[in-house]
Amino acid sequence: MTTESTTTEAIAGLTTVKDLMAAIEAPEGQGVEMMDPATGKLVGRAPQRTEADLDEAVATAREAQRSWAARSHAERSELLNRAADAVEASAEALAALLSREQGKPLNGPNARFEVGACAAWLRANAGFQIEPEVLVDDESGKAVIDYVPVGVVGAIGPWNWPMMISIWQIAPSLRMGNAVVLKPSEYTPLSVLALGAVLNQVLPAGLIQVLAGPGELGAALTAHAGVDKLMFTGSTKTGQAIMRSAADTLKRLTLELGGNDAGIVLPDADPEAIAEDVFWGAFINTGQTCAALKRLYVHESQYEAMCEALVGVAQKMPMGVGLEEENVLGPLQNKQQFDIVAGLVEDARNGGARILMGGDPVPDQPGYFYPTTLVAEIDNDNRLVSQEQFGPVLPIVKYTDLDQAIAWANGLDVGLGSSVWGTDLDEARAVAARLAAGTTWINKHGAVDPRVPFGGVKNSGYGLEFGVEGLKSVALPKVTSW
């Protein structure tokens, strides 16, 4: 365990990848080897924790949480800002390790961006004001509602944004007086272990514990009697399993699950003006983002112009090994995801769709690189449209009637995000109001903000993250009346 420190030297203690690996890696001959998805080379060995380790971690967290909860919001916020300082001091090392393990490039909205977001989310949560709310104050008496710690938060993270989404779980939980036991994805444990090591340079011992291990360890975390709240980002299927597992102990849940976000381009849109923003809405993190734009509906009057503009943007975006500074697109993180993407594109091709670019991986190329792919003239019921591809592929569907486009956009059982693109903002807002999604963006897509609550509807989960509402979601409402 590490102890709280207030020295600049402590914050600067993990500034190289070698430093990070020395702090987290399993000894040679132990753990699970993690391979670079861009090169196939060894990144490091992830330790594998057991259910006995989990029991110890939860007991430690419960003990640490008591004194942490006794601190004021101001004291906890001060340490969150110190944690942000620590992330910034180790930022380049964290980004390099993340790039090697997850595959995402250093540049573009990728590894350096993700590490920067970790610091930004820590500072944002430190700065939110949350005070008791007066509910009644009249001749009948007074009532107020306050928010008190839940206790121990169990967090299970994904492999696509492993550091940033871990901070989405950690920062509000700590701010509200909780401790966190976090189980990272089996695909990207080193990145999250490294982030935990950096944070634990400055935070009190036992508040954050990262336990890498197999899926069974995550299942044990969801069922553990000593865990009071669960936060999960991942697939709908796993989220449903977590709900069942959490039922016996009535754990509170925040579930951010799968999405298949639709975007609608209105007839008055300017394809050239919006093309780059549409591209990054779809291809951020090489398409491996829950709230990425995954199916684009374009009015027939703008269809060819929109396709042409997107091809022009896509052709300028280099894909390759993440540590090479020129690249902004990388590999898929694992072979399973590569195979899913390849299969969906083949379905589209076999269904008569037109491949505007991409669609043909280079044979025998090292790494899980799938080329940037744009698919036109595709039916709305093709699997590439109706199933989440989670990769660098965008199907572009032509529509003639706006009501039909809205029905198509709403026609799936998921509803994380959506977007509307056009120049008449009143019309765009009217369309946005008809879309069934937790968030609808106008003339942008996937632009999350730590101040703005975020969550899904339908099978995309429930509960809110970010902002004051996110703080409330990792706390218990306490009403006092007199």
For this structure, is 118 an active site residue? no
Distance CA 250, CA 111 (A): 37
Angle between helical axes of 91-102 and 17-24 (0-180°, round to 10): 70
Task: Answer whether 448's CB lies under 8 Å from 417's CB.
Answer: no
Task: Label each residue of 199-252 as H, E or C.
Answer: HCCCCCCCCEEECCCCHHHHHHHHHCCCCCEEEEECCHHHHHHHHHHHHHHCCE
State the DSSP code for 459: T
List the catalytic residue out of 101, 256, 388, 465. 256
Q: Which residues have CB under 8 Å from 401's CB, separation 6+? A: none
Give the strand order in the sheet containing 354-357.
354-357, 373-376, 393-399, 293-299, 261-265, 417-421, 439-442
Distance CA 302, CA 149 (A): 52
Distances (CA, A) of 315 to 224, 311, 350, 482: 49, 6, 24, 66
DSSP 133-202: EEEEEETTEEEEEEEEE-SEEEEE--SSSHHHHHHHHHHHHHHTT-EEEEE--TTSHHHHHHHHHHHTTT
Task: Answer whether 105's CB lies under 8 Å from 329's CB.
Answer: yes
Among residues 474, 460, 466, the alpha carbon closest in space to that of 237 is found at 460
Q: Which residues have CB under 8 Å from 244's CB, separation 6+? A: none
Residue type, 269: A
List the catalytic residue out of 25, 101, 290, 465. 290
Q: Which residues have CB under 8 Å from 139's CB, separation 6+? A: none
Could you give the dihedral angle defined by the CA atoms of residues 19, 24, 28 and 30, in that order, rounded to the nearest 10 degrees? Answer: -170
For this structure, is 469 an active site residue? no
CA dihedral sign, ordered 339, 341, 343, 349:
negative
Task: Answer whether 226's CB lies under 8 Å from 381's CB.
Answer: no
Task: Answer whether 203's CB lies under 8 Å from 225's CB.
Answer: no
Report the catalytic residues: 256, 290
